[in-house]
A and B are shown apart, each in its own frame.
Chain A
Amino acid sequence: MTRPVPAIDVRGLRKSFGPTTVLDGVDLRVDTGSVFALLGANGAGKSTTVRILTTLLRPDAGTVTVAGLPLPARAHAVRENIALTGQYAAIDDALTGTENLRLAARLAHLPSAAIPGRVRDLIERFDLAHVADRRAGTYSGGTMRRLDIAMSLVASPQVLFLDEPTTGLDPRSRLVMWEAIRELADDGVTIFLTTQYLEEADRLADRIAVLDGGRIVAEGTPDELKSLVRGGYLELRFATDADLTRAASVLDGEIDRAALTLQVHTDGDLPHVATLLERLAAEAVPVEKFGLHSPTLDDVFLTLTGSTDETKVVR
């Protein structure tokens, strides 16, 4: 069975800046109509990848096609089929929301007659009506990001690139942004997003690639990636080292003396968890706190990259 033509196809992509190798042979394939998340820490090469795919940078080596067109040869044609919402708001702070959208529509070469209607639609769709006549510089972070995406959508791109679309947003704005991204995906737009938030990739993406040190270290559906790591565990915390030692004699698990915790493997099945707790209760070992952990992408990330950089593990 042949797969449909990919929206993005990257093979052996390399890019260096002077002596620094940022991308060291990246392979990616994004199916048309899917949501793809490129996950990585700061400095992993996510933005460089986006900048190459959006024609802003030339690759040093490798083949890249976007919307079926080779880069950098057909850069201009690619630009007619994509849109980018970068990490830094690509809006004009001195123009109003309406003016920003109108500017984007003109530059996207929409017929003049179609511009007012398109601008009105986007203002309504991205809930910008109440701020449309105010300068964008006065907007909140979340509103700026919504205007930014609205500007990206004036020309109805086939592929939308979102470089860290929720970085710096408060939790509520992040939820609003997720909702907007999901709606776009439902409309059939191919979405390529980068993120350092594992939860974001998990919630939004059909497929996730993990970028580390300029290479893709894992690629798959969120569930496939989660299956790469061990299952869940019950974490028990004790008030004293003596309690921890007594508990460890009753239950098999990983002991952390510094944190006074014991991690006992479980599939999270209720009778099994109940049994574990009953055994502790039978020995009258006082448990200060306990919690059940399902495998998360955080675990995947740590397992794959062997890094404990806390910026990756934000929830």
Chain B
Amino acid sequence: MTLLAHPTPLRFAARDHAAVTGRNLRRMLRSPDALLMGLALPVLLLVLFVYVFGGAIDTGTDYLNYVVPGIVLLSASFGAAQTAVAVASDMHRGIVDRFRSMPIARSAVLTAHVVASLVRNLASTVVVFVVAALMGFRPDAHLVEWVAATGVIALFVLAVSAVSAALGMLAGNDEAASGFTFLLLFLPYVSSAFVPPETMPGWLRGFAEHQPVTPVIETVRGLLTGTGIGSSAIVAIGWCAAFTAIGHVAATALFRQRTAR
């Protein structure tokens, strides 16, 4: 989040971001619920959707192939939403004051949370893909498609993390931060992640087809399993860029406001 002016020389700015990101990743690795959320939850979701619900859902294709992109994005939403809690818990501890009273890049405090979230969620994405492969997931993507799919997932994680950072900044405490991200977590369910929107009642279908998560799912699914992408890729990138920008501006403005007391 580079909006905050910082006269730090560039090489120091990079070191500052790396140092604070490293600290945030360490914190995550030592928090049992973050680990559970990052590693165990994706696997549980995958098992739940494929073996529990999957038998009753007819998507016209192999359900495992259909649902993996959805599980990836749902897990990424859960993971990225934890950014809100991490930001909120920093804001009411003395550590942010220490960072701000040191000659470091001002942006590092916020950006490092988003970067750490990106790293962690890409790691949990790898876990989902590995477990899915063990369960029989056979994507037909070649290298370029894999890279593109990873890029889209990364953009999605970036967008959710940025919005979460703003929500965390807004929240007065960890619990509120966790609550604020509820809507973010709900979106993937009402999308094409788990069932085709055509099966939903008309009013819900309109929402499901036009909300931000669906084009992201369609793009990732298309890249990995060869289903049609159409305009989804452009729409997905547009949504992610928009939410990243909004989250960034809001988080930066709130950070300024919160630290002006």
Which residues on A are within 8 Å of B, measured CB to CB?
17, 51, 54-58, 76-77, 79-80, 82-84, 86-92, 94-95, 99, 103-104, 106-109, 135, 148, 151-152, 155
Contacts and interface: CB of A to CB of B under 8 A. Distances in A.
Contacts of A107: 16, 19-20, 99, 102, 104
Given A84-B97, A135-B30, 15 more contacts: A57-B260, A76-B103, A80-B103, A83-B101, A84-B101, A86-B94, A86-B97, A89-B94, A90-B94, A91-B98, A95-B27, A103-B23, A106-B16, A107-B99, A109-B15
A88 B97 CA distance: 9
B101 A56 contact: yes
Given A80-B103, A86-B97, A107-B102, A95 B12 contact: no
Contacts of A89: 93-94
Interface in B4-43: 6-8, 12, 15-16, 19-20, 22-23, 26-27, 30-31
B260 A90 contact: no
6 contacts: A57-B260, A90-B98, A91-B94, A92-B27, A108-B102, A155-B102
A91 B96 CA distance: 9
A106 B15 CA distance: 8
Closest 3 CB pairs of A and B: A90-B98, A90-B94, A88-B94
A89 B95 CA distance: 7
A94 B103 CA distance: 23
B138 interface: no
Interface in B83-103: 93-95, 97-103
B142 interface: no
Given A76-B103, A108-B102, A109-B15, A94 B97 contact: no
Contacts of B95: 90-92
A58 B261 CA distance: 9
B142 to A, nearest CB: 41
B26 A94 contact: yes
Given A87-B94, A109-B15, A55 B23 contact: no
Contacts of A86: 94, 97-98
A90 B99 CA distance: 9
Contact of B8 (A76, A94, A95, A135): A76
Contacts of A104: 98, 102
B259 interface: yes
A98 to B, nearest CB: 12
Nearest to A105: B19
Contact of A94 (B16, B20, B30): B30
A159 B46 CA distance: 56
A76 B12 CA distance: 13
A95 B26 contact: yes
B102 A94 contact: no
